[in-house]
């Protein structure tokens, strides 16, 4: 049985604060993507466990853009329509490194509690 | 605030139409992508789009949250208020705004109350232009503001009885009415300025005027994009103030 069938799906806002930002930054680490592709990628990589709510995704993208961690560019998409592609900036890469470290620390702490508490 | 933030805020402030268009395009593109994905999975186009919209959630809400991230709500409101203050040309745009505000007002305030309280009679609505002046009021009628049929999701499709030019609604079967007030004022520059942004929607329910039950409802200010609200008229039964966007 796949994760699809056994794991409940969680809208990302239910996760820890800042998680969505981290996931977006990480997803954009390799390629520039538009919003829909980002949400699809997160869903796909998480085996459908995580579904990004679009009502949270786009405000988060705009917030990250204002923070200078991602930048946007309008390009013609695979559908032949103009789409807004986001890509990580240099400061975004630095921020991703910081947040990834924090996440690992938090994750390890929770893991210890689950095992030993 | 970093330089990128400042640049984006300035851009949103000075090219608001472009920024808004881009936001619309971006969200519409998402919905189109999802629609195409569902269609590729075998769904008919209409159903695919319906599901794509459902998955997305309320688009206006997402738009508002994106706007909040720009951080210029105060300046946007200020700029629009200044625009209103400087607007001196009469009629069409203001009456159209009045019409739009009235429709919003009825749909958002008067109708739910009427729906919850009406006695099973056919529900009719009169849009009643009020205030301003005869000329302005007639303009409002010519714009279709007063003669419009409003469609509702179910049996309470509203029909609008013919209005005479005196704007007196006397038909006993009228159970809901809306009133759009065109306010006049003078700008700081001494020019006459028509502000058409207050709507009161009142609901009266019953078979005959004597039997109508006035439904009291607290004033509910509703802000639309780029709107400012003003105080309601003194005694509306159910009032809603709508800004004209």
ipTM confidence score: 0.84
pTM greater than 0.80 (yes/no)? no
Residues of A contacting chain B (CB within 8 angstroms)? 34-37, 53-56, 58-59, 62-63, 65-68, 71, 74, 77, 79, 81-84
Contacts of A86 by beta carbon, 8 Å cutoff, 6+ apart? A28, A32, A33, A34, A35, A38, A61, A64, A65, A70, A71, A72
Question: Helix B73-86 vs helix B3-14: angle between axes, to the nearest 10 degrees?
Answer: 20
Partner-chain contact B25 A84, CB within 8 Å: yes
Partner-chain contact B26 A67, CB within 8 Å: no
CA distance A96 to A108: 18
Residue B9's pLDDT band, with cuts at 50, 70 and 90, is confident
Shortest distance between the Cα of B76 and any Cα of chain A, in A, equals 17
Question: Helix A35-45 vs helix B16-40: angle between axes, to the nearest 10 degrees?
Answer: 40
Specify the pairing of strand B213-214 against strand A82-88.
unpaired
> CA of A53: which chain B residue's CA is closest?
B56
* Closest in A53, A68, A79 to B33, CB measured: A79
Residue A51's pLDDT is 85
* Closest in A54, A59, A67 to B5, CB measured: A67
Going across the sheet that includes B192-205, the strands are: B124-130, B174-186, B192-205, B213-214
Termini Cα distance of chain B: 30
Contacts of B32 in chain A (CB under 8 A): 79, 81
Residue A44's pLDDT band, with cuts at 50, 70 and 90, is very high
Tens digits of residue pLDDT in B66-108: 888 877 666 666 666 566 555 543 344 444 444 454 455 555 5
Please check whether residue A66 is in contact with residue B4, taking contact to mean a CB–CB distance below 8 angstroms: yes
């Amino acid at each position: 049985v796949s994760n699809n069938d056994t794991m409940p799906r969680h809208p990302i806002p239910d996760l820890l604060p800042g998680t969505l930002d981290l996931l977006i930054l990480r997803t954009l680490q390799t390629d520039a993507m538009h919003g829909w592709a980002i949400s699809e990628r997160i869903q796909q990589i998480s085996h459908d466990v995580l579904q990004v709510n679009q009502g949270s995704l786009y405000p988060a993208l705009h917030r990250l853009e204002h923070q200078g961690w991602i930048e946007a560019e309008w390009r013609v998409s695979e559908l032949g329509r103009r789409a807004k592609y986001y890509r990580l900036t240099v400061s975004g890469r630095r921020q991703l490194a910081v947040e990834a470290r924090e996440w690992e620390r938090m994750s390890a702490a929770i893991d210890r509690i689950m095992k030993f508490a | 605030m970093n330089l990128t933030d400042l640049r984006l805020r300035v851009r949103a402030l000075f090219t608001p139409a472009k920024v808004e268009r881009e936001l619309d395009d971006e969200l519409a593109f998402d919905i189109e992508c999802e629609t195409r994905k569902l269609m590729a999975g075998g769904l008919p186009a209409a159903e695919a789009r319906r599901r794509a919209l459902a998955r997305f959630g309320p688009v206006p809400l997402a738009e508002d949250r994106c706007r909040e991230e720009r951080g210029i709500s105060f300046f946007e409101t200020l700029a629009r208020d200044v625009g209103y203050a400087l607007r001196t040309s009469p009629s069409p745009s203001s009456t159209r705004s009045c019409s739009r505000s009235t429709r919003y007002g009825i749909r958002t305030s008067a109708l739910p109350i009427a729906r919850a309280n009406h006695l099973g009679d056919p529900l009719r609505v009169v849009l009643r232009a009020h205030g301003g002046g005869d000329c302005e009021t007639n303009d409002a009628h010519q714009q279709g503001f007063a003669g419009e049929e409003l469609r509702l999701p179910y049996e309470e499709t509203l029909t609008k009885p013919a209005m005479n030019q005196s704007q007196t609604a006397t038909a006993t079967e009228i159970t809901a009415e809306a009133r759009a007030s065109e306010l006049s004022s003078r700008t700081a520059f001494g020019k006459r300025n028509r502000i058409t942004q207050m709507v009161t929607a009142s609901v009266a329910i019953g078979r005959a005027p004597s039997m109508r039950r006035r439904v009291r409802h607290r004033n509910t200010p509703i802000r639309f994009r780029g709107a400012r609200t003003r105080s309601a008229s003194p005694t509306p039964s159910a009032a809603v103030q709508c800004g004209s966007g």
